[in-house]
Amino acid sequence: MKKKIIWIGLIVLVIAIAAYSMTASKKPIAVEIGTVEKGTIQEFVEETAVVQLKNETAVYATEGGKVLESMVEIGQEVKAGDVLLRMDAESMALQIKNLEAQKQAVAAQYAAAKEPASAAEISRLNAQVRAAEITYNEAKRLMDNNYALYQSGAVSLEVYQGAKASYASAEAGLEAAKSSLEIAQSSLSGNVKKQFEAQLAGIQANIEILQKKRTDLSVASPINGVVLTGNIQKGAIVQPGMLLFEIGDRSGMYLESDILIDDIVNIKEGSVVLIENDDLDIKDAKGTVQKIYPKAFSKMSDLGIAQKRVKVEIDFNDTIPNLKSGYDMTVKIITASNENALLMDEKAIFEYEGKDHVFVNENGVARLRTAGLKEGEKVILSPDEKLAEGAKVK
Please tell me the pTM assigned to this model: 0.51
Q: In whole angstroms, what is the distance from residue 210 CA to residue 93 CA?
A: 8
- Report angle CA 142, 147, 153 to the nearest 5 degrees: 125
- Give the per-residue pLDDT at 93: 60
pLDDT, tens digit only, all 394 positions of the chain = 444 545 454 454 444 444 444 444 568 999 999 999 999 888 999 999 999 888 888 888 877 777 888 888 888 888 988 988 887 655 556 666 777 777 787 787 777 666 666 777 778 888 998 999 999 999 999 999 988 888 888 888 888 888 888 898 899 889 888 888 877 776 555 566 777 777 778 777 777 666 655 554 678 888 888 888 887 788 787 777 888 898 888 778 899 999 999 999 999 999 999 999 998 889 889 999 999 999 999 998 888 889 999 999 999 998 888 888 889 999 999 999 898 899 999 999 998 888 999 999 999 999 999 898 999 999 999 998 888 899 999 8
Residue 257: half-sphere exposure toward Cβ, Cα within 13 Å: 27
Q: Give pLDDT, residue 179.
A: 82
CB 246 within 8 A of CB 58: yes
Yes or no: say if 185 and 116 are a contact pair by the CB < 8 Å rule: no
Instruction: State residue 16's pLDDT score.
Output: 44
Q: In 3D, which of 61, 121, 105 has the Cα closest to residue 87?
A: 61
CA dihedral for 359, 362, 363, 365, sign (positive or negative): negative
The pLDDT value given to residue 17:
45
- Give me the helix-helix angle, 190-216 and 157-185, nearest 10°: 170
State the pairing for strand pair 77-78/282-292.
unpaired
> Are residues 96 and 186 in contact, defined by beta-carbon separation less than 8 angstroms?
no
Q: Are 237 and 88 contacting, i.e. CB atoms less than 8 angstroms apart?
A: no
pLDDT value, residue 20: 42
Half-sphere exposure in the Cβ direction for 297 (13 Å, CA): 10
How far apart (Å, rounded) are the C-alpha atoms in residues 368 and 375? 17
Residue 35 and residue 203: Cα distance in Å, rounded? 90
Cα dihedral sign for 131, 133, 134, 139? Answer: positive
Counting beta carbons within 10 angstroms of the beta carbon of residue 348, is it exposed (0 to 12), middle (13 to 18) or buried (19 or more)? Answer: buried
In degrees and rounded to multiples of 5, residue 281 shows phi and psi of 55, 45
The 3-state DSSP class for residue 394 equals coil
Cβ 113 vs Cβ 187: under 8 Å? no
- Check residue 205 and give its pLDDT: 75
Instruction: Encode 242-260: b = buried (16+ Cβ within 10 Å), e = exposed.
Output: eebbbbbebeebbbebbbb
* DSSP tag of 348: G
